[in-house]
Each structure stands twice: as C-alpha cells, then as structure tokens.
Amino acid sequence: MATTAAPYGFRPVGLLGGGSWSDAIRHIKIANNYGTAIFYGDVVKIVNTGTVEKDTGTTTMTPCGIFVGVKYTDPNTNQLTFSQTYPASTAADDIMAYVCDDPNVVFQAQGDASLAQTALGNNVAVVQTAGSTSIGTSKNAIDASTIATTKTLPVRIIDFVDGPNSSVGDSFTDVICKFNSGGDATGDSCASHQYQDTTGV
C-alpha cells in the first residue's frame, strides 16, 4: 500500500501503445553555469538558447522530456563525471543532459494525496519540490487536488500502479501518466510536449 509520501518525480516505464521503453535517450546541452539543480525524474524543456533547463511549471508546462542523468567535466577535479543529478551553477562547457524525450513514453509518478478510480483519463498539475541531494532523485508529484478535464493541464492519468505496494485509492496513489499533446479536435491549443507543438521554442 502506498501509504507514505515518498515522491520520486517521473519514471519512464513504457510506451503509450503498451511496449517497453528501451532506455532510449537524447543528449541535450545544459548551459555553462546554469543556476538550477536538476534531478533524475525532473521535467525539462528546451529553451531558445538551444539548451535544456528544468521545467518548473505546475499547472502549465512545455516539456521536452524527463531528465535521467548528465555528464560533464567536474571543474574541481577536471574528471569526466557521470551523475543522475546536475549540480546547480556547474562551471563547465561540456554539460550534456540525458533526456527521455519520446512523446509516447509513459511515466510512473506518485500523487500527493489519494487518487480514486474516477481520476483515470483526466488531467492534473504537478507539485514542484526540490529534489533529494542524498539520492539524486526528483521529489515532484502529481497534484491530486487538480484532477479535472481542463485541457491546459500538462499531465494525463492513463493507468494506476496495481500491485503489492500500490493500489487505487491509496493515501499517496501511484499512477501511470503521460504528457498531454499540442492540440485538441477543434484545433485549440492545449498543454503540450514540445515535439508535438507546431510552435518552436
């Protein structure tokens, strides 16, 4: 039972059609001295400098994917470093984020409260919390209070994690979700994965 609040950001777990995620990632540059730490499972976006930054949005986001690691030359040791956390304000010219950027990848995340079966198919916002420096993972969660049909909300709940450690309606329900796409049947703008939005960055 998911009875403890232990958010872990977004974990890639599969593909929308039911297939497996093959650990495919894209390498996208982080700017020298970028001032915000990024943790495994955080949402990231491409900005107009051609680099990737943490997407700190809650009710609206413009994600290109999920951050799953980074490599850079450590300015203190001059050693090539691989980590699941980008330390804020790292002075290096070769910082490269590992991003799970497939719009069809689905993610597991924890709600910040109980989510009922009626949440399935609805949209939600994200709770943004600073990541864990001890284990290097995001602490973002699904905002259970925002369950709605609202098309501008960034995340869609498509399933629940049903197993020994999680069930629908648990105090902190684990769900399977995806980023919303860039438009609806009427052509109106919606919350959007950047690769599905016809407007550039």
Domain ranges of the chain: 19-100, 104-196
pLDDT band, very low/low/confident/very high, at 87 (cuts 50, 70, 90)? very high
Can you give the pTM of this predicted structure? 0.93
- The per-residue pLDDT for range 163-201, each reduced to its tens digit, is 888 889 999 999 999 999 765 555 555 667 899 887 888
Indicate if the pLDDT at residue 41 is higher than 90.
Answer: yes
Rounded average pLDDT over 25-52: 98
In this prediction, residue 3 carries a pLDDT of 78
Indicate if the pLDDT at residue 18 is higher than 70.
Answer: yes
CA distance 120 to 96: 36
87: tokens are 């330390």
- The per-residue pLDDT for range 115-168, each reduced to its tens digit, is 999 999 999 999 999 999 999 999 999 999 999 999 899 999 999 998 888 889
The helix/strand/coil state of 141 is: strand
CA distance 55 to 122: 21
CA distance 22 to 152: 29
Residue 165 Cα distances to 15, 117, 157, 168, 185, angstroms: 22, 17, 19, 11, 38
